[in-house]
Amino acid sequence: MKLTASNLAQWFVQGDHYSIALDENQLVFESKQMTQTVPFSIWDGQCRVSRGLVWGRLTFIVSPVDRPAQKIAVYGLPWSQVHEFAETLSEHYQAWLGKQQNKFMLVEPELIALRDELRDFSGFLRVEDLKAWQVKAQEVFERCGVLPQVMATANPALYQSLYGWLQNGEAQRNARNTAWRDEELARWSTWFDGVESSPLNDSQRQAVLMDDNHNLLLAGAGSGKTSVLMARAQYLVASQQTEPSRILMLAFGKKASEEMAERLAKAGLKGVETSTFHAFALKAIKEISGQDANIAPMATDEETKHSWMTLWLAENFAQPAVEKRWLKHLAQWSIPGLSAERPLVEQAHEAKLQRWLWRLVDLLAQQSQSVTTIKASIKGDEKAESELALVQPVLKGYLAALKEQKAYDFNSLIKEATKLLSKKSESFGARYDHIMVDEYQDISPARLALLEALCGGKRNRAPSLFAVGDDWQAIYRFAGSDVSLTTGFMSRFPSGVIRYLDTTYRFNSQIGAVANAFIQVDPQQLSKPLDSAREQKKKAVHLMPSDAMESVLEKLAKSAGDKPTSLLLIGRNNANKPEALSEWQSQYPNLSISYVTAHGSKGLEADYSFILDVDDGTFPAKSSGEGLESALLSVADEMEHAEERRLFYVALTRGRHECWVFSHPEKPSVFAKELWQGSYPVTSKLSKKVLQAV
C-alpha cells in the first residue's frame, strides 16, 4: 500500500519526502536522496492531514530511542486520496497496538513487581543496586517484547515510573537517597546524641549514613573518626540493616585492632569481626585452602633473620662472580657496613649491611610489577640498576627459603590471600555486608588488591567498603603505603562517594590556620575544610631559635602552675631527642614531658608541643634522589618534600593550645622559612634576614 506524488508534484517538492508506503508494521518514506523506514514502535499513531494550494500533505511524529522526537512530512500527495490513506494507516496501527496491548496485559504484573522492587527498597540505594535493577529490567523488556509507547498508553503511571529509572536513574537515585538520609537523620537524632560520649556533629552523622559501594571518609586530625567508626557499626546493627558478625573492621596494627574491639565491647556490641590485614589473611588462607598458613621465623625473629642472611651472604660472597659484582658497585657507591678493603665474606654478619639489604628486599617484595617492568622504570639510574643487580638474587634466595619452609612472610601472606579470595570471593566474601577500614591513607597496592578481591565476585550485593583516612596524614610510604590510592579514590572507583569530617576538636583555630594552609600547598592533597571547635585570635604557632628551648620550658611550667599539663617534644628522628630530657622531666614536675619522633607522634595529642631541629637538612630530611629505594618509592609528578610536608603537618597538629617550632638560628629549614614568608599567622624570634633568605 503506497501513496506517491505525481511527477510534476515531485518536481515541486524538490528534496522533501514525496512518497509514503505501509509495509507490514512500518512506514516507508521516500525522497530523491533517501528512503527512510519508521517502525510502528516509534510512531505515535497519529497521521495529520493538511492541504496546500493544489496537493495534500501528511505529517508524522516519530520518537527514536536515541534521538529527540522529530517531524516527518510527505508533500505533493493527491488530495482526493489523502484522507482515505490516512484512515487506512490509522486502522493498521490500531490493530497492531491492540495486539501489543494484549501482550502487555499478560506481562503487566511482572512489570508492576519490577516497579515495586525499587519502590519498596529499604535503606540506601547504591550505584550497583540501581545497575543490577536496570539490567534486570532490560532483560524483562527484551524477553516480553513490550514497547514503550504501548505501556505509555495502557498504563501511563507505570511507564513513567519504570522509564524514569531506566533513562534518568542516577538523578532518581540521588533524590531517593537524599530523602532517605533526611528521614534517617530525623529518626535517629536522639540516638546520635548519645551513642558516643559527645553528640555527633552534622558531618559525623552524615558520615555514619554513607553506604554506597565504595565510600571514603576524609577525617582530619582530631575530627573524631574513631567515633564515626564505632557509631556506624552500632547504627548498622541497631537499624537492623545487618548482623554484627557480618561486619568486618580492618586496621593496620594489632594495637589499633584491639582498641576497636575493646570500644565495641564497651558499647555492648559483640560479634563484630575486628582484625589486622595480616590476621585476616591468615584466616582466609586457612578457611579457603583448608591448611594452616605458617609465618616463617625469619619474618618475626630478628636472630633467625640475621642468621639466614649471614649464611646466604657468606656462601655467595665466596663466589668470585658475585664478589666481583659487589666490588664493582663499591668502587662507585658506598654500602652501609661493607668495605672493599676487607674480604667481603668476613663482613657477611655486619648488622648495618643486613639492615640495608633487608630494607631493599622488603621493598622489592612489595612490588606488584614484574622485575622487567622495574628494570625499565629505573633505566638510566646507574646506582639503582647496580643495587637491583645486588638485591634481586637475595630476594630470590629468600623466597626460595620461604617456599622450602612452606611458610609465608607478611608480604607473601597478603598476596596468597588475595589470590585465593579472587577465586572464592563469592563464597568467602558473601559472609560480609560491610567492610570498614581504618587509616585508609596507609593502604598499599597489595592490601587494596586484597580488599578488591574480598569485595569482588558476581553476587547480588557485594560488601560496602567504608574507608576512613586522611591523605594529609599519609606518612608511611617507606612501609609501602601509597597516598595516591587515597587521593585518586574517585579515579579508581568512579561511582564512589567522598565525604569529610569538617570539625576538629583537638587544636584551636590559630593552629588550624597554619597547619591546614601549610598542607594544602601541595596541589595533589585533597582539599577539604577542617574548622576548629575552639576559636581564638591570639597566634598559637611560634618560630624560635633552638637555644631558647629552656626559657620557653620555664615560662610554660610557670604558667601551668598546679594544673596538670602535657608537653610533647617531637623530632624528625630519634637522633633529635634532647640530651637534657631526663633533667627537664625532673626539673619541671608539673609538666608531663615526653619525646616522640614525628612518625611516632601520629595519633597522639598534648596540651602543648615543641617541634625540634627544624633545620636545613634535618626537617625536611634530605632525599638522595637516586638509588633503588628512591626509585621504588618515587611518585610521579609529586612536589618536592611532599611526604615530609605531610609529616610536618602531623607534628604541627599534636598540640591543643600552642606549638613552638625550634630551628638553628642560622640554618632554619625551608619549612621554617615558608611559615615566615607565607601568609601564615605565626610569631617569630628568628632573624628576619635569615628567614627571608632563599
Q: Which residues are annotated as a binding site for ATP?
A: 219-226
3-class DSSP string for 239-257: CCCCCHHHEEEEECCHHHH
Whether the CB-CB separation of 658 and 542 falls below 8 Å is answered with yes
Whether the CB-CB separation of 493 and 210 falls below 8 Å is answered with no
Whether the CB-CB separation of 247 and 272 falls below 8 Å is answered with yes
Say which residue the cell 495486539 belongs to: 99
Segments of 150-253 assigned E as strands: 214-219, 247-251
Whether the CB-CB separation of 629 and 364 falls below 8 Å is answered with no
CA atoms within 13 A on the CB side of 161: 13
Whether the CB-CB separation of 120 and 113 falls below 8 Å is answered with no
d(CA 354, CA 335): 10
Segments of 157-251 assigned E as strands: 214-219, 247-251
DSSP 615: B
Helix extents (H) in 406-527: 410-428, 445-455, 484-487, 489-492, 509-519
Strand partners, 649: none
d(CA 142, CA 162): 14
Which conformational region is residue 641 in: left (phi greater than 0), alpha (psi within -120 to 50 degrees), or beta? left
Sign of the alpha-carbon torsion through 193, 199, 204, 207: negative
Q: How many residues are listed for the chain in this entry?
A: 694
d(CA 405, CA 377): 33
> Nearest CA to 508 among 368, 652, 412, 398?
652
Whether the CB-CB separation of 13 and 27 falls below 8 Å is answered with no
Buried b (16+ CB within 10 A) or exposed e, 354-391: bebbbebbbbbbbbeeeeeebeeebeebebbebbbebb
d(CA 153, CA 93): 13
Instruction: Say which amino acid occupies 423.
Output: K
3 state DSSP class of 145: coil
Sign of the alpha-carbon torsion through 166, 167, 169, 175: negative
Could you tell me which residues are annotated as the binding site?
219-226
The contacts of residue 407 (CB under 8 Å, 6+ apart) are 294, 295, 296, 297, 299
**Helices and strands, counts by H and E, the chain:** 28, 21
d(CA 214, CA 498): 9
* 542 C-beta neighbours (distance < 10 Å), count: 19
For residue 530, what is its C-alpha cell? 577542617
d(CA 656, CA 567): 10
Whether the CB-CB separation of 613 and 546 falls below 8 Å is answered with yes
> Nearest CA to 539 among 504, 507, 510, 572?
510
d(CA 291, CA 83): 83
Give, to the nearest 10 degrees, the angle between helix 642-652 and helix 509-519: 170
Whether the bond into 39 is cis, omega within 30 of 0: no
> Nearest CA to 680 among 554, 453, 544, 512?
512
